[in-house]
Amino acid sequence: MPESLSANEAIEAARKLLAGIVRTHPDQKVVVLEILALLSVAEGALEPSSRLLQRRTGENTRYAVETISQRPMLSEYRSVGRPLRVDESLFDGIASVLGGTTKPIAFDEIADGVEKLIGTRPVEWQMRVVLRFLLRAAPPILKRNRSRYAPESKGFKAAAHKWWRANSQ
């Protein structure tokens, strides 16, 4: 079995074994920490192309519009962790800001526009949940290039609300 592992897989397997050792032999924690430090050095010496790329792809992410505490909320479900939830007022604010532009605008410009509409600066992760939701609309209603977002066509706000209703439960 060890012959079939890549260097990255072997390092990860060693880390898991060391975690088990610490659980069963807490007195060996110092030695295990030294070994983990050495593994990090070895991992850093690997060719960049052979390092594991750990990036969230969003492939197991799903969205639903649910009523929570008598308020409509956009929920983002990932394969691990609790769902991320965003209030409909933030969705409306983002839809209004994006619907009022014809050119690509930066993430911070969207945040500034929403702040003017609802009176408080939106939390970054909540804005990102809404933007990811809108980027997944079928047919596409929003396009992204780097950190700039632009509606695909006129009538964005109506299309965004149609996508919201299509995901309502």
Are both 80 and 147 inside the same structural domain? yes
Residue (of 48, 50, 57, 56) closest to 10 by Cα position: 50
Query: Mean pLDDT score of the chain, rounded to an integer?
Result: 86
**Looking at the domain assignment, is residue 10 inside a domain?**
yes
Are both 43 and 71 inside the same structural domain? no
> Residue 159 belongs to a domain with what CATH number?
1.10.10.10
pLDDT tens column, 57-99: 567 899 999 999 999 999 999 888 899 999 999 999 999 999 9
Residue 84 phi, psi (nearest 5): -95, 130
Are both 23 and 69 inside the same structural domain? no
**Looking at the domain assignment, is residue 143 inside a domain?**
yes
**Looking at the domain assignment, is residue 87 inside a domain?**
yes
Are both 31 and 69 inside the same structural domain? no
pLDDT tens column, 110-133: 999 999 999 999 999 999 999 999
**Looking at the domain assignment, is residue 147 inside a domain?**
yes
Are both 157 and 89 inside the same structural domain? yes
Residue 65 phi, psi (nearest 5): -100, 120
In eight-state DSSP terms, residue 57 is: -
Query: Cα 90 to chain center, whole Å?
Result: 17
Query: Which pair of structure tokens corresponds to residue 17?
Result: 């074994």
**What confidence category does residue 56 fall into, taking pLDDT thresholds of 50, 70 and 90?**
low
**Looking at the domain assignment, is residue 156 inside a domain?**
yes
pLDDT score of 132: 95
In whole angstroms, what is the distance from residue 51 CA to residue 151 CA? 37
pLDDT score of 21: 84
Which segments of the chain are extended strands (E)?
62-68, 71-77, 84-87, 105-106, 142-145, 148-151
Are both 85 and 142 inside the same structural domain? yes
Q: For strand 71-77 and strand 105-106, is the pairing parallel, antiparallel, or unpaired?
A: unpaired
In whole angstroms, what is the distance from residue 36 CA to residue 19 CA? 10
Are both 158 and 80 inside the same structural domain? yes
In whole angstroms, what is the distance from residue 167 CA to residue 165 CA? 5
Are both 157 and 86 inside the same structural domain? yes
62: β partners: 77
pLDDT score of 54: 44
Are both 131 and 158 inside the same structural domain? yes
Contact between 88 and 82 (Cβ < 8 Å):
no
Are both 102 and 74 inside the same structural domain? yes
Are both 86 and 152 inside the same structural domain? yes
pLDDT score of 50: 46
Total domain count for the chain? Answer: 2
Range of the domain at 99: 62-166
The verdict on pTM exceeding 0.75 is no
SS3 64: strand
**Looking at the domain assignment, is residue 55 inside a domain?**
no
Are both 124 and 155 inside the same structural domain? yes
Cis peptide before 140 (omega within 30 of 0): no
